[in-house]
């Protein structure tokens, strides 16, 4: 009946909420709706290690807040390459759009994350560049310190050592139109430039602007006969990327001149142009409307750069397919040469109309973000397609997508939620859900229950982690529960706070056929011991037993569908007299704990423990006597196998 009601609830939910079935939802993080992925693997063996870093947004400009509560969907997100959520970062900046979200390994020995937080919808804040450590604490917020409208969304590029960062700038200025043959006229233009900022103080250390460096005629956006514009003016260059090499020169991409420029770090002059109307290179390829231009290597005379050639924009396309290009530049020869050493066409043959990114990974694989709908692909160094992925939802894009290794160790503890249901005293079940937002490398969850708030945590089972959220079904009514994240070496990484199990608002409507106050909680040590015994007598290990109860993450929705069978098979295997006996003892002990809590007297505790311990031992002994194989653990004085009583050793902060 309980399952029937839940099933009904679930299916009506599906009908009503079909449009958001492309979002994940979690019991432990109810405020988060992370995007689901559609993934196709072509050769998983050759994929690079690492996680995906994306920052989905619905619309690029900040949305007006409404009175309506909105769940977290946009902002920085980390996934593994199964599409399993690792970190939902949207709560950190309250659902603000973020851009250029990526792992950063050049600050110190610890991995960091960096991203741009978008400006405020009412321009009350200009946005900023954020650096977050791997405990998910904000370490630096790099501000716009001058008159610029915002921290431009295109680039937040942290230089080696983490002392400085590069950002793009857009500035409205008045220019004389002499370059268009109209020296008596002026127009507003939006010039493009970059700054190198001090990460600590946000001070501008280096500033470059196209104003006196790039003539109007280099732009493919405006014509000599166009009428002069008012503020903010012609967006005539549209800078969208900046990088710096060891020699201290800057590589910039101007989308509306179809040109990549090397800017001297000495004097700010243009060293060379690649592409566009005034290319200095002998080149055997074309590109246009390029994005995310970065150095792969650079030694003074030879540069290897990566470029996303989206070859298309809202005004039309110059080529039929967008591509990632790895280009080798030789500036020691005359004329200088530019050669494509790797061209990776967009796997679906499409055109990237919106932004994008390309990076060469440490193992020389190439990861490309085609932007719209989060479409991304990974390729071997020879270009072979290994994987494509995109958001299940059409409503979101990400400006750039990255892949990289990362170790996340959140300072916040894991989130645990538990609830109990049941039809009578002998048939209660506790559902536990746990997740740890941002943690990498958790392989297993151990679950513990306590008879009362200061009781000893008793191990009640463990489940391998396969999804963001892990579910565990415990027999009985476990009132005080906690969970431990376990790494591959079996170490405890962190422990959740001990939470109390939620009870149905109305026991009757949850199928309970006892009296209205519902069941009383069980003593976990007795239930755990009984399960252990039943487990070994039926020939299966207790690990297998608990694992068979485990359902992870998204599959918890399926559980509700299949719940009838899962639930009843779980309980029927234990609906025998031994189990009922154990439950009786559990109740008695729990009642005793209740008394202790009320009276708080050590003497009474000892008296009660001795009395009940004796009764428990007697029943325990009876159970053992009836079993064919004897229990290998030595019962303690209370009749509980000591090995099963695990004290949590990790500090609980
Ligand atoms: C730069 O790299 C190229 C190609 O690897 C090499 O031929 C050249 O000698 C290098 N130049 C310097 C200054 O190291
Ligand atoms: C695009 O494809 C069409 C048809 O396949 C072809 O005629 C055209 O030349 C192509 N354009 C470019 C720029 O490659
Ligand atoms: C849990 O993970 C361990 C180690 O990877 C593995 O040996 C075991 O089979 C897994 N258990 C289940 C039920 O998948
Ligand atoms: C309900 O059951 C509990 C425990 O069995 C008992 O203590 C309590 O008095 C009962 N309440 C009613 C209203 O019957
Ligand atoms: C686990 O339980 C399942 C189902 O009862 C059984 O088929 C399987 O052999 C068991 N595995 C182990 C390792 O005991």
- What is the per-residue pLDDT across 194-222, written as a single tens digit (0 to 9) for each? 999 999 999 999 999 999 999 999 999 99
Q: Is 512 touching ligand 4 by the criterion CB < 6 Å? A: no
Q: Are residues 404 and 419 in the same domain?
A: no
Please name the residue whose Cα sits nearest to atom 14 of ligand 1: 299
Q: Any idea which ligand is nearest the CA of 443?
A: 3
Q: Are residues 419 and 551 in the same domain?
A: yes
Please name the residue whose Cα sits nearest to atom 14 of ligand 5: 540
User: Which tokens belong to 562?
Assistant: 């299949």
**pLDDT for the residue 619:** 44
Q: Ligand 4 centre from 515 Cα, in Å? A: 6
Phi then psi dihedrals of residue 424, to 5 deg: -155, 175
- Length, in residues, of the chain: 653
**In ligand 4, which atom is closest to the CA atom of 517?**
1
Q: Give the mutation target among 503, 517, 590, 595 for probing the ligand 4 site: most ligand atoms within 8 A of CB.
A: 517
* Among candidate residues 336, 213, 218, 216, the one with its CA nearest the CA of residue 277: 218
Q: Are residues 423 and 537 in the same domain?
A: yes
Q: Is residue 317 part of a domain?
A: no
Mean pLDDT, rounded, for 166-182 = 95
Range of the domain at 49: 32-147+155-160+355-408
Q: Any idea which ligand is nearest the CA of 486?
A: 3
Phi then psi dihedrals of residue 216, to 5 deg: -55, -35
* Among candidate residues 56, 248, 66, the one with its CA nearest the CA of residue 166: 248
Mean pLDDT, rounded, for 601-614 = 44
Helix (H, G, I), strand (E, B) or coil at 16: helix
Helix (H, G, I), strand (E, B) or coil at 40: strand
Q: Is 184 touching ligand 4 by the criterion CB < 6 Å? A: no
Enumerate residues 6+ apart whose C-beta is below 8 A from 153: 60, 97, 99, 100, 116, 118, 127, 399
Residue where a domain terminates, one of 562, 579, 604: 562
Helix (H, G, I), strand (E, B) or coil at 206: strand
- DSSP conformation letters of 563-599: HHHHHHHHHHTT-SHHHHHHHHHHHHHHHHHHHHHHH
Q: Ligand 5 centre from 564 Cα, in Å? A: 21
Q: Ligand 3 centre from 548 Cα, in Å? A: 11
CB 37 within 8 A of CB 389: yes
Q: Give the mutation target among 464, 541, 547 for probing the ligand 3 site: most ligand atoms within 8 A of CB.
A: 464
CB 377 within 8 A of CB 358: no
**In ligand 3, which atom is closest to the CA atom of 547?**
13
Q: Does an H or E element contain 13, and which?
A: helix 2-16
Q: Are residues 391 and 441 in the same domain?
A: no
Please name the residue whose Cα sits nearest to atom 7 of ligand 1: 302
Q: Ligand 5 centre from 542 Cα, in Å? A: 10
Q: Is residue 524 part of a domain?
A: yes
Q: Give the mutation target among 302, 327, 330, 333 for probing the ligand 1 site: most ligand atoms within 8 A of CB.
A: 302
Give the total number of structural domains in the chain.
2
**pLDDT for the residue 208:** 98
Mean pLDDT, rounded, for 143-171 = 93
Q: Ligand 2 centre from 321 Cα, in Å? A: 9
Q: Ligand 4 centre from 516 Cα, in Å? A: 8
Q: Is 517 touching ligand 4 by the criterion CB < 6 Å? A: yes
**pLDDT for the residue 349:** 84
In this prediction the pTM is: 0.79
The residues lining ligand 5, judged by C-beta closer than 6 Å to any ligand atom, are 540-541, 544, 548
Q: Any idea which ligand is nearest the CA of 298?
A: 1
Q: Are residues 360 and 454 in the same domain?
A: no
Q: Any idea which ligand is nearest the CA of 521?
A: 4
Q: Are residues 487 and 431 in the same domain?
A: yes
Q: Ligand 4 centre from 593 Cα, in Å? A: 18
* Among candidate residues 633, 592, 640, 634, the one with its CA nearest the CA of residue 619: 640
Q: List strand residue ranges (DSSP E) for 595-648, in order.
A: none
Please name the residue whose Cα sits nearest to atom 2 of ligand 3: 464
Q: Are residues 551 and 433 in the same domain?
A: yes
Q: Are residues 361 and 398 in the same domain?
A: yes
- What is the per-residue pLDDT across 416-454, written as a single tens digit (0 to 9) for each? 999 999 888 888 999 999 999 999 999 999 999 999 888
- What is the per-residue pLDDT across 226-244, written as a single tens digit (0 to 9) for each? 999 999 999 999 999 999 9
Among 66-70, 120-124, 530-534, 563-567, the range of highest mean pLDDT: 120-124
CB 423 within 8 A of CB 614: no
Please name the residue whose Cα sits nearest to atom 4 of ligand 2: 320
- DSSP conformation letters of 91-117: GGGTT--EEEEEEE-SSSSS-EEEEEE
Please name the residue whose Cα sits nearest to atom 14 of ligand 4: 515
CB 519 within 8 A of CB 527: no
Whole-angstrom Cα distance, residue 35 to residue 463? 25
**pLDDT for the residue 578:** 56
Q: Ligand 1 centre from 637 Cα, in Å? A: 77
Q: Are residues 444 and 512 in the same domain?
A: yes
Q: Ligand 4 centre from 517 Cα, in Å? A: 7
Q: Are residues 460 and 520 in the same domain?
A: yes
CB 439 within 8 A of CB 494: yes
Please name the residue whose Cα sits nearest to atom 14 of ligand 2: 319
The residues lining ligand 3, judged by C-beta closer than 6 Å to any ligand atom, are 464, 547
Question: Any idea what the Cα angle at residue 598 is, between residues 597 and 603, rounded to 5°?
Answer: 70
Q: Ligand 2 centre from 286 Cα, in Å? A: 14
- DSSP conformation letters of 246-298: TTS-EEEEEGGGTEEEEE-TTT--EEEEESSTT--EEES----SEEEEEEEEE
Rounded to the nearest 5 percent, the helix, strand and coil shares of the chain are 20, 35, 45
Supply the mean pLDDT for the chain.
82
Mean pLDDT, rounded, for 380-391 = 97
**In ligand 2, which atom is closest to the CA atom of 320?**
1
Q: How many Cβ atoms from other residues are within 10 Å of residue 201's Cβ? A: 11
Q: Any idea which ligand is nearest the CA of 301?
A: 1
- What is the per-residue pLDDT across 512-526, written as a single tens digit (0 to 9) for each? 888 778 888 998 888
Please name the residue whose Cα sits nearest to atom 1 of ligand 4: 515
- What is the per-residue pLDDT across 276-311, written as a single tens digit (0 to 9) for each? 999 999 998 888 888 999 999 999 899 999 999 866
The answer, yes or no, to whether residue 35 has pLDDT greater than 80, is yes
The answer, yes or no, to whether residue 38 has pLDDT greater than 90, is yes
Mean pLDDT, rounded, for 255-270 = 96
- What is the per-residue pLDDT across 314-323, written as a single tens digit (0 to 9) for each? 555 667 788 9
Q: Are residues 419 and 388 in the same domain?
A: no
Q: Is residue 474 part of a domain?
A: yes
Helix (H, G, I), strand (E, B) or coil at 220: coil
**pLDDT for the residue 386:** 98
Residue where a domain terminates, one of 516, 534, 562: 562
Classify the C-alpha dihedral 529-531-533-535 as positive or negative: negative
Q: Are residues 375 and 444 in the same domain?
A: no
Mean pLDDT, rounded, for 175-200 = 96
Q: Is residue 368 part of a domain?
A: yes
Q: Is residue 446 part of a domain?
A: yes
Enumerate residues 6+ apart whose C-beta is below 8 A from 599: none
- Range 347-352, long-range pairs (CB < 8 A, 24+ positions): 347/377, 347/385, 347/388, 348/375, 348/388, 349/320, 349/321, 350/321, 350/322, 350/375, 351/310, 351/311, 351/312, 351/317, 351/320, 351/321, 351/322, 352/308, 352/310, 352/312, 352/322
* Among candidate residues 167, 182, 188, the one with its CA nearest the CA of residue 236: 188
Where residue 136 falls (left for φ over 0; alpha for ψ -120 to 50; beta otherwise) is left
**pLDDT for the residue 609:** 45
Q: How many Cβ atoms from other residues are within 10 Å of residue 333's Cβ? A: 9
Q: Is residue 511 part of a domain?
A: yes
* Among candidate residues 461, 460, 463, 457, the one with its CA nearest the CA of residue 435: 463
Q: How many Cβ atoms from other residues are within 10 Å of residue 57's Cβ? A: 24
Among 92-96, 292-296, 351-355, the range of highest mean pLDDT: 292-296
CB 450 within 8 A of CB 457: yes
Please name the residue whose Cα sits nearest to atom 5 of ligand 5: 540
| CATH code: domain of residue 428 | 2.60.40.10
Q: Any idea which ligand is nearest the CA of 332?
A: 1
The residues with which 345 forms a beta bridge, in sequence order, are: 323
Q: Ligand 1 centre from 301 Cα, in Å? A: 6
Mean pLDDT, rounded, for 546-553 = 41
DSSP β-ladder status, 234-235 and 182-198: parallel
**In ligand 1, which atom is closest to the CA atom of 300?**
13
Q: Is residue 61 part of a domain?
A: yes
Mean pLDDT, rounded, for 70-90 = 94
Mean pLDDT, rounded, for 241-257 = 96
**pLDDT: which is higher, 271 or 19:** 271
Residue where a domain terminates, one of 509, 529, 562: 562
Q: List strand residue ranges (DSSP E) for 37-181, in order.
A: 37-41, 51-57, 77-79, 85-88, 98-104, 112-117, 128-133, 138-143, 156-158, 164-177
Q: How many Cβ atoms from other residues are within 10 Å of residue 619's Cβ? A: 18
**pLDDT for the residue 351:** 80
**In ligand 3, which atom is closest to the CA atom of 550?**
13
Q: What is the CA radius of gyration of the chain?
A: 31
**In ligand 4, which atom is closest to the CA atom of 520?**
4
Mean pLDDT, rounded, for 347-358 = 83
Classify the C-alpha dihedral 93-95-100-102 as positive or negative: positive
**For 440, how many CA atoms within 13 A lie in the half-sphere containing its CB?**
17
Please name the residue whose Cα sits nearest to atom 6 of ligand 1: 302
Q: Is residue 465 part of a domain?
A: yes
* Among candidate residues 190, 226, 232, 186, the one with its CA nearest the CA of residue 210: 190
């Amino acid at each position: 009946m309980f399952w029937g009601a839940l099933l009904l609830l679930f299916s009506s939910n599906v009908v009503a909420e079909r449009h958001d079935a492309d979002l994940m939802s979690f019991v432990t993080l109810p405020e988060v709706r992370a995007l689901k992925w559609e993934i196709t693997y072509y050769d998983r063996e050759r994929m690079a290690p690492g996680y995906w870093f994306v920052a989905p947004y619905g619309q690029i400009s900040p949305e007006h807040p409404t009175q309506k509560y909105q769940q977290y969907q946009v902002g920085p997100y980390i996934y593994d390459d199964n599409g399993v959520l690792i970190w939902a970062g949207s709560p950190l900046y309250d659902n603000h759009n973020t851009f250029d979200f990526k792992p950063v390994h050049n600050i110190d020995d610890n991995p960091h994350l960096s991203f741009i937080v978008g400006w405020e919808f009412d321009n009350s804040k200009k946005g900023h560049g954020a650096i977050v450590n791997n405990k998910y604490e904000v370490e630096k917020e790099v501000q716009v310190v001058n008159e610029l409208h915002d921290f431009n969304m295109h680039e937040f590029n942290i230089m080696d050592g983490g002392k400085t960062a590069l950002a793009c700038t857009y500035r409205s200025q008045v220019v004389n139109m002499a370059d268009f043959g109209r020296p008596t006229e002026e127009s507003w233009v939006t010039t493009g430039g970059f700054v190198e900022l001090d990460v600590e103080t946000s001070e501008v250390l280096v500033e470059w602007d196209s104003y006196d460096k790039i003539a109007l005629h280099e732009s493919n956006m405006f014509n000599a006969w166009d009428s002069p514009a008012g503020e903010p003016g012609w967006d005539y260059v549209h800078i969208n990327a900046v990088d710096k090499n060891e020699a201290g020169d800057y590589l910039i991409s101007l989308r509306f001149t179809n040109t990549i420029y090397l800017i001297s770090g000495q004097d700010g002059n243009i060293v060379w142009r690649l592409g566009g109307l005034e290319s200095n290179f002998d080149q055997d390829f074309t590109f246009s409307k390029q994005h995310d231009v970065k150095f792969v290597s650079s030694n003074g005379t030879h540069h290897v750069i990566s470029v996303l050639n989206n070859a298309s924009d809202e005004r039309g396309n110059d080529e039929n397919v967008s591509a990632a290009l790895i280009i080798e530049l030789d500036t020691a020869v005359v004329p200088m040469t530019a050669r494509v050493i790797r061209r990776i066409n967009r796997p679906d043959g499409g055109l990237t109309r919106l932004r994008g990114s390309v990076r060469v990974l440490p193992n020389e694989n190439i990861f490309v973000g085609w932007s719209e709908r989060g479409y991304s692909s990974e390729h071997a160094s020879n270009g072979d397609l290994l994987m494509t992925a995109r958001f299940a939802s059409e409503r979101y894009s990400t400006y750039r997508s990255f892949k990289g290794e990362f170790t996340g160790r959140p300072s916040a503890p894991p989130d645990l939620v538990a609830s109990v249901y049941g039809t009578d005293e002998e048939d209660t079940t506790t559902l536990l859900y746990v997740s740890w937002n941002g943690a990498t490398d958790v392989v297993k969850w151990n679950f513990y229950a306590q008879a009362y708030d200061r009781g000893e945590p008793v191990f009640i089972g463990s489940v391998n982690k396969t999804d963001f959220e892990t579910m565990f079904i415990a027999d009985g009514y476990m009132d005080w529960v906690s969970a431990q994240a376990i790494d591959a070496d079996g170490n405890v990484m962190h422990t959740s706070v001990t939470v109390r199990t939620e009870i149905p608002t109305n026991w009757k409507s949850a199928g309970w056929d006892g009296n209205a106050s519902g069941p009383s909680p069980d003593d976990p040590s007795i239930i755990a011991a009984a399960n252990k015994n039943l487990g070994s007598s039926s020939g299966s290990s207790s690990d297998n037993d608990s694992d068979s109860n485990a359902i992870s993450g998204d599959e918890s929705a399926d559980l509700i569908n299949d719940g009838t069978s899962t639930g009843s098979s779980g309980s029927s295997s234990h609906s025998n007299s031994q189990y009922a006996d154990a439950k009786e003892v559990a109740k008695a002990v729990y009642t005793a704990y209740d008394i202790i809590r009320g009276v708080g007297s050590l003497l009474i505790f000892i008296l009660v423990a001795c009395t009940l311990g004796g009764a428990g031992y007697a029943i325990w002994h009876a159970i053992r006597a009836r079993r064919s194989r004897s229990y290998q653990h030595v019962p303690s004085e209370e009749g509980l196998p000591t090995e099963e009583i695990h004290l949590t050793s990790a500090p609980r902060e």
